[in-house]
Structure 1
Amino acid sequence: MSSLFRKKPLETLSAQSKSKSLARTLSAFDLTLLGIGCVIGTGIFVITGTVAATGAGPALIISFILAGLACALAAFCYAEFSSSIPISGSVYSYSYSYVTLGELLAFLIGWDLMLEYVIALSAVATGWSSYFQSLLAGFNLHIPAALTGAPGSTPGAVFNLPAAVIILLITAIVSRGVKESTRFNNVIVLMKIAIILLFIIVGIGYVKPDNWSPFMPFGMKGVILSAATVFFAYLGFDAVSNASEEVKNPQKNMPVGIISALAVCTVLYIAVSLVLTGMMPYAKLNVGDPVSFALKFVGQDAVAGIISVGAIIGITTVMLALLYAQVRLTFAMSRDGLLPGLFAKVHPSFKTPFRNTWLTGIVAAGIAGFINLGTLAHLVNMGTLAAFTVISIAVIVLRKKHPEIKASFRVPFVPVVPIISAGICIWFMYSLPGVTWLSFVIWIAVGTLVYFLYSRKHSLLNK
């Protein structure tokens, strides 16, 4: 039993954080745009309309504020961990679950996040495919029906070719180097922000306050349930923490990147929600492209076309950040012996986990191409909420057991803030469907089996 809760020495984490196997090239600006690139995408271009029409009405802004609050509290915890000993692996290492809570829980959290990132990457690629095919249709171009979606998604569909191809293209970019990836990401994110601001500027002139009445048609219960749903829209700021081993001056830049990304995204979500629900009746927004649809509703077809292109661009950067986060997570777990050594091998020229990147990209492309994701997407929310709960608890344990650790950013009012953060996350988890809980339990059970059959024996701590 004691081996299940063996803990990694802090000296090991410190040594890994100083490793030069990954090149340190990223600034606070790069980190901020990496976070924005992952957060602003499917949530703002798709989820806003669906949730407004079916769960919250104009009170969607309250749902976004509640979800943003839960993320902000968790972001404080991420910022403290990432500014103390910067090391890849997201909550797997940053919550110091390996140091504070033991190896088994550390592995299961890593296993949980592996599912989150891969499913999210595949789901976002599927959304990208839909927007891309819609854009082609506008030019009277059509992909053969057999290649438009996964089996069962549309009549005659066999393989979602656009989704698989875009994942492989993103894989090629990420595998070449982190600086090359962030240059591409930075340009695209700045374009995406400009397009969102264009919608706000144009749309605000068509806002009718009457459309905000009734403000809360589904009651407070609908607002809370919607907050758990739109939580998906915030996923990605934690991906910033995976980059810490490739950041210049991480103790200073990591907290700035994490908190700045979340702050910018929250402001944009609230502004878009207000304008969107003010432009037209909320009940009509249950469409796949609500932002473009609202502009067409008020006769701004040209701007709607620009927004559609912006959605495709925006979703592309989400995939880049998700793939990047997944690869750095498995890199960290492999380095500790909990996954095969293949995942930790660094390319001699590119200084990236090259084989790991391509293996992850091929698996995600296969999932997006052949599997109709459906309710599996709910696992993304469940996995992230579980991770946020652990990091909130771990910051309390870390402060108690290792007061000697110094961080450039410290969570205020410990343990009150972490306890509130964990409570909100558990509250959101409770509101998710039963099938999501069942799927999550099955995945964790599989992870437990993998740990006992492989990871426990091959762990560096075991040696």
Structure 2
Amino acid sequence: MRRLPLSEALGLRTGARHSLHRLYRPADLVVLGLGVMIGAGIFSVAGRQAATTAGPGVILSFMIAGIASLLAALCYAELASAIPASGSAYTFTYVLFGEVWAWVVGWALLLEMQLAAAVVARVWALYAAQTLADLGLSLSLPPGVLTAFILGVLTLTAAVSARIGLRALWVIVVAKLLAIGAVIVVGALHFDAANLGGFIAPHQPASNPPDTLLGLVVGPTGTFGWFGVFAAAPAIAFAYIGFDIVATASEETLDAPRAVPKGMIRSLVIATVLYIAVAIVMVGMVPYTRISESAPLAAAFAAVGENAMVHVINIGAVLGLTTVILVLIAGQTRIMFAMARDGLLPRGLGTLSRRYHSPSRVTLVIGVTAILLAELAPVLMLEQLVVIGTLFAFLAVSAGVVVLRRRMPGAPREFSVPLSPLLPAVSVLATLWLMVNLSVQTWLSFAAWMALGVLVYLAYGRRRSLLAAPVASGRGRHRR
């Protein structure tokens, strides 16, 4: 269970060719977080969950999911402050728990981000085609072509220059925030408190056998009522996932120990407020029994005579999904870069381009893989795998705070989780609650992916790790 020394995790182990350049400032990190957390889901998730699971109580569901995410964000913030490295949860785990656990967490993160990029790109293609059709500009292109197009463009953007990607991110994030602001303001003009009813909708018994891990243990819980409020929270938590990607930018951030925790928490708080505001508008415009599941917000605006807002929503969704893909590619690049730099993946992926001064090679590998996944795999049916991969990393990070306090009590940090170890323990429990509400099929698929990861580690990473190299050779590291 060899552990990476903290001094090496902080970047003292590599030459200039392997070190990422500092680029991000505190405001950039907030934009990075908003870029990945706010996508098309802000226009649809509240309506779907209100119509099918929670009713007007979906507002409370957003608050519950936001609190659970905030607890994990606080834990991420402390570890990012103490270990500001590009590998995020992978590197945290390498320092605190050891190489095997680091590989497992890194393997889960690769599943999360690679699959998420493919899923979001497929959804982007659908929204883009619909937007063009609504504007009378239909190009009659199949979704597969649009999917490959957006992944190709954003992969090249990330591969050529992180600075160019950051500038593009700023422009698109500002544009989509303006679209969201328009939705909130115009929707508020049509808010009717009578549509909230009793706020907590009457409970309805389950009509189908449970398919979640929790359902198999406690039996069917039904929908709506307080059961529905809590049952909707795991699905809504998917909307908040992404704040953790801010930590992957640590190595490229000026004054990272101070800036990364602030950027992570601020972006999550802003995203939570925006999601709740849209949820309030959604359930206030029309009764939850009349909400359309396929296009809830657009249908609600059409029902109150605001047809022009449909175009705003579609354009906002396309812009939102564009930034999600870009940040996912950039975040996964940093994690694979760190894993390759440590020898657990081919070392060639852990180098910087001499021409562009960015990890171009690994970025291109990620982009091509995402295109193949999006074109050949039923990625839209595997969305929950993105969630479980992220939540698995949340568990490791929450437990890591406790381990950091015990093993490295004197390690310098600019942020500390209050009420530790209580809040990290609550974060673990909240994360487990979200995980057991995922489907049994998702758990089985995740177990299969992790089993494959263990085999890959045993066959490749265990012996090629730089920690496994003899110190006498001049290439090795300290054994712990």
Q: Assess same fold via TM > 0.5.
A: yes
Alpha-carbon RMSD across the aligned residues, in angstroms, is: 1.5
1:37 aligns with 35
Q: 2 CA distance for matches of 1:410 and 1:36?
A: 23
1:101 aligns with 2:97: yes
Shift in CA distance, 19/299, structure 1 to aligned 2, threshold 3 Å: farther
Q: CA deviation at 1:16?
A: 4.1
* Amino acid of the structure 2 residue aligned with 1:166: I
Identify unmatched segments of 5+ residues in structure 2: 202-223, 470-480
TM-score, normalisation: structure 1: 0.93
- Contact 1:43–1:230 (CA<8 Å) still a contact in 2? no
1:366-385 to 2 correspondences below 5 Å: 366-385=372-391
Asked if 2 retains the 8 angstrom alpha-carbon contact of 1:131 and 1:308, the reply is yes
Kindly provide the amino acid, as one letter, of the partner of residue 260 in structure 2.
Answer: M
Q: Which deviations, in whole Å up to 9, do the C-alpha atoms of 1:131-172 show, x marking residues without a partner? A: 111112224454557x23xxxxxxxxxxx2211211111111
Name the SS of the counterpart of 2:227 in structure 1: helix
Match of 2:8 among 5, 12, 19: 12
Aligned partner of 2:239 in structure 1 is 233
Shift of 1:359: 1.0
Match of 2:179 among 182, 185, 195: 195
Tell me by how many angstroms 1:37 deviates.
Answer: 0.7
2:338 aligned partner: 332
Residues 225-264 of structure 1: pairs in structure 2 closer than 5 A:
225-264=231-270
| Alignment map for 1:42-121 (pairs within 5 Å) | 42-93=40-91, 96-121=92-117
Give the Å deviation of 1:303: 2.4
CA distance in 1, matches of 2:153, 2:28: 21
2:158 to 154, 158, 174: 174
Correspondence for 2:357 among 351, 356, 359: 351
2:134–2:311: 8 Å Cα contact kept in structure 1? no
User: CA separation in 1, counterparts of 2:4 and 2:297?
Assistant: 48
Q: Secondary structure at the match of 2:466?
A: coil
The letter for the 1-side match of 2:273 is V
Q: CA deviation at 1:191?
A: 1.1
Q: Give the aligned partner of residue 400 of structure 2.
A: 394
5 Å-filtered alignment, 1:144-293, equals 144=140, 147-148=142-143, 160-217=144-201, 218-293=224-299
Q: Which runs of 5+ in 1 are unaligned?
A: 149-159
TM superposition score normalised by structure 2: 0.90
1:431 paired to 2:437: yes
Task: Tell me whether 403-412 or 277-286 shows the greater mean CA deviation.
Answer: 277-286
> What is the CA deviation profile of residues 79-116 of structure 1, one whole-angstrom value per residue up to 9, with x for unaligned ones?
111122311112111xx211221111110100000000
Contact 1:161 1:369 in 2 (8 A): no
Question: Which amino acid in structure 1 is aligned with residue 190 of structure 2?
Answer: Y
Please tell me the residue identity of whatever aligns with 1:15. G
Structure 1 residue 126 and structure 2 residue 132: aligned? Answer: no
Residues 277 and 401 of structure 1: CA distance in aligned 2, closer, same or farther (over 3 Å): same
CA distance in 2, matches of 1:254, 1:387: 18
Give the CA deviation at 1:260: 0.6
| Other structure's SS at 1:347 match | coil
- Distance in 2, matches of 1:289 and 1:10, equals 49
How far 1:271 moved relative to its partner?
0.5
Is 196-205 or 297-306 further displaced after alignment? 297-306
Q: Number of aligned pairs? A: 445
Identity across the alignment (%): 40
Offset at residue 17 of structure 1 (A): 8.5
CA contact 1:396–1:415 (8 Å) conserved in 2: yes
- Judge conservation of contact 1:40–1:314 (CA < 8 Å) in 2: yes
